[in-house]
Amino acid sequence: MVTETMRAILFDWGGVLIDDPADGLVTYCAEQLALPKEIYTREYRKYLPDFQKGLIAEQDMWKRLCGHFRIPPPTPPSLYRRAVEHVFTERPMVFQLARTLHRKGYKVGFLSNTEIPAMEYFISRGYDFFDATVFSCAEHTAKPEPRIYRIACQRLGTEPHRAVFIDDRPDYLQGAVRVGMQTIRYRTLPQVAGELRSLGVHW
């Protein structure tokens, strides 16, 4: 049964539901563009905040980035989607926890700073146990900005103080704390399960 205290549990994607993909995405794209990883990373980071907020299209990003290096832009319709498919690795037991919480009556949410190609990949997976999904690229706001957490709580129909957010990054957890949410920093699945129980979440 759902407790009177906690009604909703929100999961981050990279580093929680899947292995942290950041380094793999950078490595894959740098290799495809035949650029040294360190040099590619310095330029890519200039565009990442706007890319994750949906403020720059992927093809425009590649045009600018490749123009800086005076190399041709990538030819695939979406190099980034290919990188996502190549790199993303699910953590089945974390997905199972989310499914179980949903089955037990908790509202289960998904909240991620992510890019349009990655969002499209997520949608293609057909997950049916998330009651609400919030992607930074669709909302034009990103963690740790307060608005994205409030959007997630509104879509789940719960007050922030009755929601738990699970993420692996302290700065993103602090953003959730500032709007009144409970938080758990993901380190291991048993640790997360124990902290959920300490907050009165049972399944």
In this predicted structure, what is the pLDDT of residue 1?
45
What tokens appear for 143 in the block? Answer: 């963690």
pLDDT of residue 4 exceeding 60, the answer is no
Count of alpha carbons within 13 angstroms of residue 60, beta-carbon side: 9
pLDDT of residue 88 exceeding 60, the answer is yes
Q: How far apart are CA 78 and CA 92, in angstroms?
A: 27
Question: Residue 68 maps to which CATH number?
Answer: 1.10.150
Mean confidence (pLDDT) of the chain: 96
> Where residue 76 falls among pLDDT bands split at 50, 70, 90?
confident
Q: Which of 70, 87, 104 is the last residue of a domain?
A: 87
What's the rounded mean pLDDT across residues 163-172?
A: 98
In a domain, 115, yes or no: yes
What's the rounded mean pLDDT across residues 170-189?
A: 98
Question: Which residues, 6 or more positions from 97, have their beta carbon under 8 angstroms from its beta carbon?
Answer: 189, 192, 193, 203
The verdict on 99 and 185 lying in the same domain is yes
The verdict on 71 and 97 lying in the same domain is no
The model's pLDDT over 96-155, given as tens digits with 9 standing for 90+, comes to 999 999 999 999 999 999 999 999 999 999 999 999 999 999 999 999 999 999 999 999
The verdict on 98 and 175 lying in the same domain is yes
What tokens appear for 32 in the block? Answer: 């495809």
Q: In what order do the strands lie in the sheet with 132-135?
A: 132-135, 107-112, 8-11, 163-167, 182-185
What tokens appear for 151 in the block? Answer: 């959007």
Could you give the percent of the chain with pLDDT greater than 90? Answer: 95
The amino acid occupying position 14 is G
Quick one: which H or E segment has residue 184? strand 182-185
Question: Residue 118 maps to which CATH number?
Answer: 3.40.50.1000
Q: How far apart are CA 29 and CA 80, in angstroms?
A: 7
The verdict on 73 and 150 lying in the same domain is no
In a domain, 164, yes or no: yes
In a domain, 192, yes or no: yes
- Polymer length of the chain: 203
The verdict on 48 and 106 lying in the same domain is no
What is the DSSP annotation of 100-145?
Answer: HHHHTT-EEEEEE---HHHHHHHHHTT----SEEEEHHHHT--TTS
Owning domain of residue 61:
22-87
> Comparing C-alpha atoms, which of 81, 146, 84, 143 is closest to residue 111?
143
In this predicted structure, what is the pLDDT of residue 96?
98
